[in-house]
Structure 1
Amino acid sequence: MKKILTLAFILFTLSLQAQNTEGVVYFTRTTYWTKMNNQLTYLSKQEKEKLTYMFAGKDDWKVYTLLYFNENESKYVNSDEKTDESEGYAWRKEEYIVNRNFAKNTMTDVFEILGKTYIIEDSLQVPNWKILNDIKEVAGHICMKAMVEDTIKKQKIIAWFAQDIMSNAGPERLWGLPGLILELDINDGTVMIEASKIEFKKLNQEMALPKKLKGKKLNEKAYQEMTDKFIKEKIKEEMNPYWSIRY
Protein backbone atom coordinates (compact mmCIF):
# COMPACT_ATOMS: atom_id res chain seq x y z
CA MET A 1 0.00 0.00 0.00
CA LYS A 2 2.82 2.40 0.91
CA LYS A 3 4.52 1.73 -2.45
CA ILE A 4 1.26 2.42 -4.27
CA LEU A 5 0.80 5.75 -2.46
CA THR A 6 4.42 6.73 -3.17
CA LEU A 7 4.00 5.93 -6.86
CA ALA A 8 0.74 7.89 -6.96
CA PHE A 9 2.47 10.92 -5.39
CA ILE A 10 5.32 10.75 -7.91
CA LEU A 11 2.87 10.53 -10.82
CA PHE A 12 0.86 13.44 -9.41
CA THR A 13 4.01 15.56 -9.08
CA LEU A 14 5.09 14.74 -12.63
CA SER A 15 1.61 15.60 -13.84
CA LEU A 16 1.79 19.01 -12.19
CA GLN A 17 5.22 19.66 -13.67
CA ALA A 18 3.95 18.66 -17.12
CA GLN A 19 1.22 21.29 -16.80
CA ASN A 20 3.73 23.96 -15.78
CA THR A 21 5.56 24.14 -19.10
CA GLU A 22 3.75 26.89 -20.99
CA GLY A 23 2.18 30.24 -20.24
CA VAL A 24 2.86 33.87 -19.40
CA VAL A 25 4.44 35.58 -16.38
CA TYR A 26 3.42 39.12 -15.42
CA PHE A 27 6.36 41.10 -14.02
CA THR A 28 6.73 44.48 -12.35
CA ARG A 29 10.08 46.13 -13.08
CA THR A 30 10.99 48.81 -10.52
CA THR A 31 13.99 51.12 -10.88
CA TYR A 32 15.17 53.00 -7.78
CA TRP A 33 16.90 55.99 -9.34
CA THR A 34 18.28 57.58 -6.16
CA LYS A 35 19.94 54.32 -5.18
CA MET A 36 21.37 53.97 -8.67
CA ASN A 37 22.72 57.51 -8.73
CA ASN A 38 24.36 57.05 -5.32
CA GLN A 39 26.17 53.98 -6.65
CA LEU A 40 27.53 55.82 -9.69
CA THR A 41 30.55 57.45 -8.07
CA TYR A 42 31.62 59.14 -11.33
CA LEU A 43 28.56 61.46 -11.52
CA SER A 44 29.33 65.16 -11.38
CA LYS A 45 28.02 67.29 -8.52
CA GLN A 46 25.78 69.14 -10.97
CA GLU A 47 24.32 65.89 -12.27
CA LYS A 48 23.64 64.58 -8.75
CA GLU A 49 21.93 67.82 -7.74
CA LYS A 50 19.75 67.73 -10.86
CA LEU A 51 18.74 64.13 -10.23
CA THR A 52 18.05 64.78 -6.55
CA TYR A 53 15.72 67.60 -7.55
CA MET A 54 13.99 65.48 -10.21
CA PHE A 55 13.31 62.53 -7.91
CA ALA A 56 12.58 64.40 -4.70
CA GLY A 57 10.07 62.32 -2.76
CA LYS A 58 9.49 59.80 -5.57
CA ASP A 59 12.42 57.87 -6.97
CA ASP A 60 10.92 54.47 -7.79
CA TRP A 61 9.75 54.04 -11.36
CA LYS A 62 7.64 51.02 -12.32
CA VAL A 63 6.94 49.44 -15.67
CA TYR A 64 5.17 46.19 -16.49
CA THR A 65 6.64 43.41 -18.59
CA LEU A 66 5.52 40.01 -19.88
CA LEU A 67 7.40 36.73 -20.31
CA TYR A 68 5.87 34.14 -22.64
CA PHE A 69 7.47 30.73 -22.21
CA ASN A 70 7.36 27.06 -23.05
CA GLU A 71 9.92 24.25 -22.95
CA ASN A 72 11.54 25.29 -26.24
CA GLU A 73 11.26 29.07 -26.45
CA SER A 74 10.61 32.35 -24.63
CA LYS A 75 9.74 35.94 -25.50
CA TYR A 76 10.05 38.86 -23.07
CA VAL A 77 8.44 42.22 -23.92
CA ASN A 78 7.26 45.46 -22.38
CA SER A 79 3.57 45.40 -21.51
CA ASP A 80 1.02 47.88 -22.85
CA GLU A 81 -0.22 48.39 -19.29
CA LYS A 82 0.55 51.79 -17.80
CA THR A 83 1.51 52.46 -14.19
CA ASP A 84 0.04 55.25 -12.05
CA GLU A 85 3.21 57.34 -12.33
CA SER A 86 3.03 57.29 -16.13
CA GLU A 87 -0.05 59.51 -15.98
CA GLY A 88 0.83 63.05 -16.98
CA TYR A 89 3.90 61.96 -18.92
CA ALA A 90 4.29 61.43 -22.65
CA TRP A 91 4.17 57.65 -22.18
CA ARG A 92 5.41 55.49 -25.06
CA LYS A 93 6.24 51.81 -25.09
CA GLU A 94 9.77 51.47 -26.43
CA GLU A 95 10.79 48.67 -28.78
CA TYR A 96 12.02 45.83 -26.58
CA ILE A 97 11.85 42.14 -27.50
CA VAL A 98 14.02 39.38 -26.05
CA ASN A 99 13.53 36.04 -27.81
CA ARG A 100 15.28 32.80 -26.84
CA ASN A 101 14.88 29.61 -28.88
CA PHE A 102 16.35 26.86 -26.72
CA ALA A 103 15.61 24.10 -29.24
CA LYS A 104 17.53 25.88 -32.03
CA ASN A 105 20.06 27.52 -29.65
CA THR A 106 19.40 30.97 -31.14
CA MET A 107 18.52 34.44 -29.87
CA THR A 108 16.80 37.40 -31.54
CA ASP A 109 16.61 40.61 -29.53
CA VAL A 110 15.18 43.93 -30.69
CA PHE A 111 16.18 47.04 -28.73
CA GLU A 112 15.63 50.74 -29.16
CA ILE A 113 18.78 52.60 -28.08
CA LEU A 114 19.48 56.31 -28.53
CA GLY A 115 16.63 56.63 -31.01
CA LYS A 116 17.82 53.72 -33.17
CA THR A 117 16.55 50.15 -33.38
CA TYR A 118 19.04 47.28 -33.21
CA ILE A 119 18.46 43.60 -33.93
CA ILE A 120 20.84 41.29 -32.07
CA GLU A 121 21.03 37.82 -33.59
CA ASP A 122 23.41 35.14 -32.39
CA SER A 123 23.74 31.67 -30.90
CA LEU A 124 22.86 31.29 -27.23
CA GLN A 125 25.54 31.47 -24.55
CA VAL A 126 24.51 30.31 -21.08
CA PRO A 127 25.25 32.92 -18.37
CA ASN A 128 27.89 31.83 -15.84
CA TRP A 129 25.43 31.13 -13.02
CA LYS A 130 26.42 30.16 -9.50
CA ILE A 131 23.54 28.30 -7.80
CA LEU A 132 23.27 28.97 -4.05
CA ASN A 133 21.50 27.18 -1.19
CA ASP A 134 18.92 29.83 -0.24
CA ILE A 135 15.22 29.36 -0.97
CA LYS A 136 12.15 31.62 -0.76
CA GLU A 137 8.63 31.88 -2.14
CA VAL A 138 7.93 34.01 -5.20
CA ALA A 139 4.45 34.25 -6.72
CA GLY A 140 3.36 31.08 -4.91
CA HIS A 141 6.36 28.97 -5.96
CA ILE A 142 9.35 27.84 -3.90
CA CYS A 143 12.43 29.26 -5.63
CA MET A 144 16.16 28.65 -5.39
CA LYS A 145 18.76 31.40 -5.51
CA ALA A 146 21.44 31.91 -8.16
CA MET A 147 23.94 34.67 -8.91
CA VAL A 148 25.70 36.02 -11.98
CA GLU A 149 27.76 39.15 -12.74
CA ASP A 150 27.52 41.59 -15.64
CA THR A 151 31.13 42.69 -16.09
CA ILE A 152 30.30 45.51 -18.53
CA LYS A 153 27.60 47.20 -16.45
CA LYS A 154 29.35 46.23 -13.18
CA GLN A 155 26.23 44.53 -11.83
CA LYS A 156 25.74 41.72 -9.35
CA ILE A 157 22.50 39.97 -10.27
CA ILE A 158 20.54 37.65 -7.98
CA ALA A 159 17.92 35.38 -9.57
CA TRP A 160 15.23 33.29 -7.94
CA PHE A 161 14.04 30.35 -10.08
CA ALA A 162 11.23 27.83 -9.69
CA GLN A 163 12.27 24.24 -10.38
CA ASP A 164 8.64 23.12 -10.61
CA ILE A 165 8.20 25.21 -13.78
CA MET A 166 10.09 23.33 -16.47
CA SER A 167 11.54 26.13 -18.57
CA ASN A 168 15.03 27.66 -18.90
CA ALA A 169 13.49 31.09 -19.53
CA GLY A 170 13.74 34.30 -17.54
CA PRO A 171 13.02 38.04 -17.69
CA GLU A 172 15.31 40.64 -19.26
CA ARG A 173 18.16 38.91 -21.13
CA LEU A 174 18.74 36.23 -18.49
CA TRP A 175 18.01 32.52 -18.81
CA GLY A 176 19.73 29.14 -18.44
CA LEU A 177 18.72 27.95 -14.97
CA PRO A 178 16.96 24.60 -14.23
CA GLY A 179 13.60 26.29 -13.76
CA LEU A 180 11.77 29.50 -14.69
CA ILE A 181 13.26 32.71 -13.24
CA LEU A 182 10.56 34.59 -11.28
CA GLU A 183 12.62 37.38 -9.71
CA LEU A 184 15.76 39.38 -10.44
CA ASP A 185 17.57 41.69 -8.01
CA ILE A 186 20.13 43.88 -9.78
CA ASN A 187 22.84 45.47 -7.61
CA ASP A 188 21.26 45.09 -4.18
CA GLY A 189 17.80 46.29 -5.13
CA THR A 190 18.68 49.09 -7.54
CA VAL A 191 16.36 47.39 -10.04
CA MET A 192 13.85 44.71 -9.02
CA ILE A 193 11.99 42.53 -11.55
CA GLU A 194 9.31 40.58 -9.67
CA ALA A 195 6.64 38.16 -10.89
CA SER A 196 3.17 39.17 -9.72
CA LYS A 197 1.17 36.47 -11.51
CA ILE A 198 1.77 33.32 -13.55
CA GLU A 199 -0.86 32.17 -16.01
CA PHE A 200 -0.37 28.64 -17.31
CA LYS A 201 -2.08 28.31 -20.68
CA LYS A 202 -1.60 27.19 -24.27
CA LEU A 203 0.14 29.92 -26.27
CA ASN A 204 -0.91 30.70 -29.83
CA GLN A 205 0.73 33.61 -31.63
CA GLU A 206 2.21 35.27 -28.54
CA MET A 207 5.66 33.80 -29.18
CA ALA A 208 5.85 34.95 -32.80
CA LEU A 209 8.25 37.72 -33.77
CA PRO A 210 7.14 40.59 -36.02
CA LYS A 211 7.19 39.46 -39.67
CA LYS A 212 9.36 42.42 -40.69
CA LEU A 213 12.08 43.39 -38.24
CA LYS A 214 13.57 46.77 -39.07
CA GLY A 215 16.86 47.84 -37.54
CA LYS A 216 20.63 47.52 -37.68
CA LYS A 217 21.73 43.93 -37.21
CA LEU A 218 24.49 43.07 -34.73
CA ASN A 219 25.84 39.93 -33.13
CA GLU A 220 26.15 39.69 -29.35
CA LYS A 221 29.83 40.65 -29.28
CA ALA A 222 29.23 43.82 -31.31
CA TYR A 223 26.27 44.75 -29.10
CA GLN A 224 28.33 44.32 -25.92
CA GLU A 225 31.18 46.37 -27.41
CA MET A 226 28.76 49.15 -28.34
CA THR A 227 27.30 49.13 -24.81
CA ASP A 228 30.74 49.16 -23.21
CA LYS A 229 31.86 52.09 -25.36
CA PHE A 230 28.74 54.12 -24.56
CA ILE A 231 29.08 53.55 -20.79
CA LYS A 232 32.75 54.60 -20.85
CA GLU A 233 31.86 57.77 -22.78
CA LYS A 234 29.24 58.71 -20.17
CA ILE A 235 31.67 58.00 -17.34
CA LYS A 236 34.08 60.52 -18.90
CA GLU A 237 31.23 63.03 -19.16
CA GLU A 238 30.30 62.32 -15.50
CA MET A 239 26.74 61.46 -16.51
CA ASN A 240 24.38 58.53 -15.92
CA PRO A 241 24.43 56.24 -19.00
CA TYR A 242 21.22 54.48 -17.91
CA TRP A 243 19.04 57.33 -19.07
CA SER A 244 19.65 55.95 -22.55
CA ILE A 245 20.25 52.22 -22.08
CA ARG A 246 18.50 49.63 -19.94
CA TYR A 247 20.11 49.17 -16.51
Structure 2
Amino acid sequence: MKNLLIFSLCLSGFVRSFGQVAPQTEGMITYERRQYWTKVYEKLTFLTKDEKERQKSTWGNDDEWKVKMKLVFNANESVYTYLNETGESDDGTYNYRLDDFKLYRNFAQERKIDQIEMLGKTYVIEDSIQTPNWKILNEIKEVAGYVCMKATTEDKIKQQKITAWFSQDLALPFGPENYHGLPGVILELNIDNGTVIIEATKVELKDNTKPSTPAPELEAFAKIDLKKTKKMKGKRINNKDYDQLLSTHMKDSIKAQRNPYWSIRY
Protein backbone atom coordinates (compact mmCIF):
# COMPACT_ATOMS: atom_id res chain seq x y z
CA MET A 1 0.00 0.00 0.00
CA LYS A 2 2.85 2.36 0.88
CA ASN A 3 4.55 1.69 -2.47
CA LEU A 4 1.28 2.31 -4.31
CA LEU A 5 0.83 5.64 -2.52
CA ILE A 6 4.35 6.74 -3.42
CA PHE A 7 3.81 5.71 -7.04
CA SER A 8 0.51 7.59 -7.17
CA LEU A 9 2.21 10.76 -5.97
CA CYS A 10 4.89 10.32 -8.61
CA LEU A 11 2.15 9.88 -11.22
CA SER A 12 0.44 13.16 -10.35
CA GLY A 13 3.77 14.97 -10.59
CA PHE A 14 4.54 13.34 -13.91
CA VAL A 15 1.31 14.40 -15.57
CA ARG A 16 2.11 18.02 -14.76
CA SER A 17 5.69 17.87 -16.05
CA PHE A 18 5.60 15.27 -18.83
CA GLY A 19 6.68 17.78 -21.46
CA GLN A 20 10.16 17.78 -19.95
CA VAL A 21 10.51 14.00 -20.19
CA ALA A 22 10.71 13.47 -23.93
CA PRO A 23 10.45 16.87 -25.65
CA GLN A 24 12.01 15.62 -28.88
CA THR A 25 9.89 12.53 -29.43
CA GLU A 26 7.61 12.01 -32.41
CA GLY A 27 5.99 8.79 -33.41
CA MET A 28 3.09 6.73 -34.64
CA ILE A 29 1.51 3.70 -33.04
CA THR A 30 -0.72 1.38 -35.05
CA TYR A 31 -3.49 -0.40 -33.15
CA GLU A 32 -5.96 -3.13 -34.02
CA ARG A 33 -9.39 -2.45 -32.55
CA ARG A 34 -11.52 -5.58 -32.09
CA GLN A 35 -15.16 -5.51 -31.00
CA TYR A 36 -17.24 -8.61 -30.22
CA TRP A 37 -20.96 -8.20 -30.78
CA THR A 38 -22.05 -11.24 -28.77
CA LYS A 39 -20.34 -9.70 -25.73
CA VAL A 40 -22.07 -6.39 -26.42
CA TYR A 41 -25.45 -8.13 -26.30
CA GLU A 42 -24.40 -10.05 -23.19
CA LYS A 43 -24.11 -6.68 -21.39
CA LEU A 44 -27.66 -5.57 -22.27
CA THR A 45 -29.61 -6.04 -19.05
CA PHE A 46 -33.04 -5.94 -20.68
CA LEU A 47 -32.38 -9.11 -22.72
CA THR A 48 -33.41 -12.47 -21.29
CA LYS A 49 -31.00 -15.38 -21.13
CA ASP A 50 -32.76 -17.02 -24.11
CA GLU A 51 -32.52 -13.81 -26.15
CA LYS A 52 -28.80 -13.56 -25.45
CA GLU A 53 -28.34 -17.18 -26.51
CA ARG A 54 -30.20 -16.48 -29.76
CA GLN A 55 -27.85 -13.56 -30.44
CA LYS A 56 -24.86 -15.86 -29.94
CA SER A 57 -26.38 -18.37 -32.33
CA THR A 58 -27.14 -15.67 -34.91
CA TRP A 59 -23.64 -14.18 -34.87
CA GLY A 60 -21.86 -17.52 -34.58
CA ASN A 61 -18.14 -17.09 -35.15
CA ASP A 62 -18.63 -13.87 -37.14
CA ASP A 63 -19.21 -11.53 -34.20
CA GLU A 64 -15.77 -9.91 -34.38
CA TRP A 65 -15.46 -6.49 -36.02
CA LYS A 66 -11.95 -5.16 -36.35
CA VAL A 67 -10.34 -2.05 -37.76
CA LYS A 68 -6.88 -0.47 -37.75
CA MET A 69 -6.33 2.74 -35.77
CA LYS A 70 -3.34 5.05 -35.41
CA LEU A 71 -1.99 7.42 -32.77
CA VAL A 72 0.31 10.11 -34.20
CA PHE A 73 2.10 12.23 -31.62
CA ASN A 74 4.87 14.65 -30.75
CA ALA A 75 6.00 15.88 -27.32
CA ASN A 76 2.80 17.83 -26.58
CA GLU A 77 0.09 16.75 -29.03
CA SER A 78 -1.58 13.62 -30.34
CA VAL A 79 -4.15 12.63 -32.94
CA TYR A 80 -6.01 9.33 -32.74
CA THR A 81 -8.02 8.23 -35.77
CA TYR A 82 -8.47 5.44 -38.32
CA LEU A 83 -5.34 4.18 -40.06
CA ASN A 84 -7.09 4.19 -43.44
CA GLU A 85 -9.85 6.33 -44.93
CA THR A 86 -12.08 3.32 -45.60
CA GLY A 87 -12.66 -0.02 -43.93
CA GLU A 88 -12.17 -3.36 -45.65
CA SER A 89 -14.18 -6.56 -45.30
CA ASP A 90 -12.43 -9.57 -43.75
CA ASP A 91 -12.24 -11.32 -47.11
CA GLY A 92 -11.03 -8.16 -48.88
CA THR A 93 -13.87 -8.17 -51.40
CA TYR A 94 -15.25 -4.70 -50.63
CA ASN A 95 -14.54 -1.43 -48.81
CA TYR A 96 -16.93 0.56 -46.67
CA ARG A 97 -17.18 4.10 -45.30
CA LEU A 98 -15.84 4.71 -41.81
CA ASP A 99 -17.52 7.16 -39.47
CA ASP A 100 -15.99 10.55 -38.70
CA PHE A 101 -13.65 9.96 -35.78
CA LYS A 102 -10.62 12.09 -34.86
CA LEU A 103 -9.41 12.82 -31.34
CA TYR A 104 -6.91 15.68 -30.96
CA ARG A 105 -5.11 16.36 -27.66
CA ASN A 106 -2.85 19.29 -26.77
CA PHE A 107 -1.44 18.63 -23.31
CA ALA A 108 0.65 21.81 -23.28
CA GLN A 109 -2.56 23.83 -23.55
CA GLU A 110 -4.70 21.20 -21.76
CA ARG A 111 -7.21 21.36 -24.62
CA LYS A 112 -8.91 18.76 -26.78
CA ILE A 113 -10.82 18.84 -30.06
CA ASP A 114 -12.76 15.69 -31.01
CA GLN A 115 -14.70 14.98 -34.18
CA ILE A 116 -17.12 12.13 -33.52
CA GLU A 117 -19.97 10.85 -35.66
CA MET A 118 -22.75 9.47 -33.48
CA LEU A 119 -26.54 9.45 -33.22
CA GLY A 120 -26.78 10.22 -36.94
CA LYS A 121 -24.77 13.45 -36.74
CA THR A 122 -21.15 14.65 -36.59
CA TYR A 123 -20.13 16.59 -33.49
CA VAL A 124 -17.00 18.58 -32.67
CA ILE A 125 -16.27 18.55 -28.94
CA GLU A 126 -13.89 21.38 -28.02
CA ASP A 127 -13.05 21.76 -24.34
CA SER A 128 -10.45 21.08 -21.67
CA ILE A 129 -8.85 17.63 -21.34
CA GLN A 130 -10.55 15.40 -18.79
CA THR A 131 -8.13 12.82 -17.38
CA PRO A 132 -9.64 9.54 -16.14
CA ASN A 133 -9.25 8.61 -12.48
CA TRP A 134 -6.71 5.80 -12.80
CA LYS A 135 -5.77 3.11 -10.30
CA ILE A 136 -2.32 1.69 -11.07
CA LEU A 137 -1.81 -1.97 -10.16
CA ASN A 138 1.27 -4.08 -9.54
CA GLU A 139 0.96 -6.21 -12.69
CA ILE A 140 3.07 -6.25 -15.86
CA LYS A 141 2.95 -7.85 -19.31
CA GLU A 142 4.48 -7.31 -22.73
CA VAL A 143 2.63 -5.51 -25.52
CA ALA A 144 4.21 -4.82 -28.93
CA GLY A 145 7.66 -5.55 -27.50
CA TYR A 146 7.29 -3.17 -24.54
CA VAL A 147 6.95 -4.04 -20.86
CA CYS A 148 3.67 -2.53 -19.69
CA MET A 149 2.03 -1.85 -16.34
CA LYS A 150 -1.67 -2.27 -15.63
CA ALA A 151 -4.11 0.49 -14.71
CA THR A 152 -7.89 0.50 -14.34
CA THR A 153 -10.68 3.05 -14.43
CA GLU A 154 -14.42 3.19 -15.11
CA ASP A 155 -16.74 4.81 -17.64
CA LYS A 156 -19.64 5.78 -15.40
CA ILE A 157 -21.97 6.84 -18.21
CA LYS A 158 -21.68 3.55 -20.12
CA GLN A 159 -20.99 1.58 -16.92
CA GLN A 160 -17.88 -0.03 -18.37
CA LYS A 161 -14.74 -1.33 -16.68
CA ILE A 162 -11.57 -0.15 -18.42
CA THR A 163 -8.17 -1.83 -18.21
CA ALA A 164 -5.12 -0.13 -19.74
CA TRP A 165 -1.59 -1.39 -20.24
CA PHE A 166 0.95 1.44 -20.50
CA SER A 167 4.71 1.55 -21.02
CA GLN A 168 6.98 3.88 -19.07
CA ASP A 169 9.57 3.36 -21.82
CA LEU A 170 7.30 5.64 -23.88
CA ALA A 171 7.11 8.39 -21.28
CA LEU A 172 4.24 10.43 -22.71
CA PRO A 173 0.63 10.55 -21.42
CA PHE A 174 -1.10 9.57 -24.68
CA GLY A 175 -3.43 6.70 -25.47
CA PRO A 176 -6.20 5.39 -27.74
CA GLU A 177 -9.86 6.42 -27.61
CA ASN A 178 -10.59 8.80 -24.71
CA TYR A 179 -8.00 7.29 -22.40
CA HIS A 180 -4.76 9.02 -21.43
CA GLY A 181 -2.99 10.63 -18.48
CA LEU A 182 -0.80 7.71 -17.38
CA PRO A 183 3.02 7.92 -17.01
CA GLY A 184 3.50 6.22 -20.36
CA VAL A 185 1.68 5.64 -23.64
CA ILE A 186 -1.21 3.17 -23.44
CA LEU A 187 -0.44 0.24 -25.74
CA GLU A 188 -3.45 -1.91 -24.94
CA LEU A 189 -6.98 -1.06 -23.84
CA ASN A 190 -9.53 -3.62 -22.68
CA ILE A 191 -13.09 -2.34 -22.43
CA ASP A 192 -15.60 -4.30 -20.35
CA ASN A 193 -13.75 -7.60 -19.97
CA GLY A 194 -12.84 -8.06 -23.62
CA THR A 195 -15.94 -6.66 -25.31
CA VAL A 196 -13.56 -4.27 -27.08
CA ILE A 197 -9.79 -4.79 -27.20
CA ILE A 198 -7.48 -2.16 -28.70
CA GLU A 199 -3.94 -3.50 -29.03
CA ALA A 200 -0.79 -1.89 -30.42
CA THR A 201 0.68 -3.87 -33.30
CA LYS A 202 3.48 -1.49 -34.33
CA VAL A 203 5.37 1.31 -32.57
CA GLU A 204 7.37 3.69 -34.78
CA LEU A 205 9.46 6.40 -33.16
CA LYS A 206 11.55 9.29 -34.43
CA ASP A 207 14.01 11.17 -32.25
CA ASN A 208 14.46 14.71 -33.56
CA THR A 209 17.80 14.94 -31.79
CA LYS A 210 19.11 12.53 -34.43
CA PRO A 211 17.89 13.97 -37.74
CA SER A 212 20.46 11.97 -39.68
CA THR A 213 18.77 8.70 -38.74
CA PRO A 214 15.01 9.22 -39.15
CA ALA A 215 12.64 6.29 -39.06
CA PRO A 216 11.71 5.73 -42.75
CA GLU A 217 8.17 4.70 -41.80
CA LEU A 218 7.62 8.11 -40.20
CA GLU A 219 8.82 10.30 -43.06
CA ALA A 220 5.22 10.66 -44.29
CA PHE A 221 4.19 11.94 -40.86
CA ALA A 222 7.19 14.12 -40.03
CA LYS A 223 5.67 17.18 -41.72
CA ILE A 224 2.16 16.78 -40.34
CA ASP A 225 0.90 19.87 -38.56
CA LEU A 226 -1.27 18.34 -35.86
CA LYS A 227 -3.05 21.66 -35.37
CA LYS A 228 -4.71 21.27 -38.77
CA THR A 229 -7.07 18.80 -37.14
CA LYS A 230 -8.76 21.80 -35.53
CA LYS A 231 -10.39 22.57 -38.89
CA MET A 232 -13.19 20.08 -38.42
CA LYS A 233 -16.77 20.19 -39.65
CA GLY A 234 -19.61 19.35 -37.28
CA LYS A 235 -21.91 20.71 -34.60
CA ARG A 236 -19.73 22.25 -31.88
CA ILE A 237 -20.43 21.23 -28.29
CA ASN A 238 -18.48 21.00 -25.02
CA ASN A 239 -17.72 18.16 -22.60
CA LYS A 240 -20.91 18.69 -20.60
CA ASP A 241 -23.08 18.63 -23.75
CA TYR A 242 -21.35 15.46 -24.97
CA ASP A 243 -21.80 13.65 -21.65
CA GLN A 244 -25.48 14.67 -21.57
CA LEU A 245 -26.05 13.37 -25.10
CA LEU A 246 -24.52 10.02 -24.20
CA SER A 247 -26.33 9.76 -20.89
CA THR A 248 -29.73 10.54 -22.41
CA HIS A 249 -29.16 8.14 -25.30
CA MET A 250 -28.14 5.31 -22.97
CA LYS A 251 -31.18 5.78 -20.71
CA ASP A 252 -33.64 6.12 -23.61
CA SER A 253 -32.22 3.08 -25.42
CA ILE A 254 -32.34 0.84 -22.36
CA LYS A 255 -35.88 2.01 -21.57
CA ALA A 256 -36.96 1.23 -25.14
CA GLN A 257 -35.00 -2.07 -25.06
CA ARG A 258 -32.76 -1.06 -27.96
CA ASN A 259 -29.05 -1.75 -28.37
CA PRO A 260 -27.51 1.72 -27.77
CA TYR A 261 -24.23 0.78 -29.43
CA TRP A 262 -25.54 0.72 -32.98
CA SER A 263 -25.30 4.52 -32.98
CA ILE A 264 -22.48 5.29 -30.53
CA ARG A 265 -18.98 3.90 -30.01
CA TYR A 266 -18.72 1.14 -27.40
* Residue number among 94, 97, 101 corresponding to 2:99 in the alignment: 94
| Residue 181 of structure 2, aligned match among 176, 195, 199 | 176
Structure 2 CA distance for aligned equivalents of residues 211 and 147 of structure 1: 30
Structure 2 counterpart of 1:29 = 33
Superposed CA RMSD in Å reads: 2.3
User: 1:11 corresponds to which residue?
Assistant: none
CA offsets, 1:60-118, max 9 Å, x none?
Answer: 11011000112201110012164442745661021101111000000000001122110
Q: Name 2:115's counterpart in structure 1.
A: 110
Note the C-alpha offset of 1:39. Answer: 1.7
| Cα shift readout 1:188-246 (whole Å, capped 9, x = no counterpart) | 10100000000113632162434632211111111001001001111011111011100
Query: What is the correspondence of 1:173-212 to structure 2 with a 5 Å cutoff?
Result: 173-201=178-206, 203-205=222-224, 207-210=226-229, 212=231
Gaps of 5+ in 2: 1-20, 209-221
Question: Is contact 2:72–2:78 with CA below 8 Å preserved after alignment?
Answer: yes
Q: Which residue of 2 aligns with 1:6?
A: none
The residue aligned with 1:239 is 258
Contact 2:71-2:81 at 8 Å conserved across structures = yes
The answer for the alignment partner of 1:123 in structure 2 is 128
| TM-fit CA distance, 1:125 | 2.0
Letter in 2 for 1:78: Y
1:153, CA displacement in angstroms?
0.4
Identical-residue share of aligned pairs (%): 49
Deviation of 1:164 (Å): 0.8
Q: Unpaired runs of 5+ in structure 1? A: 1-16
Further displaced range: 197-206 or 33-42: 197-206
| TM-score calculated relative to the size of structure 1 | 0.86
Q: Residue type of the partner of 2:45? A: T
Task: Classify 1:175/1:86 alpha carbon distance in 2 versus 1 (closer, same or farther; 3 Å).
Answer: farther
What TM-score results when the alignment is normalised by the length of structure 2?
0.80
Task: Find the counterpart in structure 2 of residue 78 from structure 1.
Answer: 82
**Deviation by residue 1:23-58 (Cα, 9 ceiling, x = unmatched):** 000000000110121121213789757744652221
CA distance in 1 between partners of 2:114 and 2:96 (Å): 22
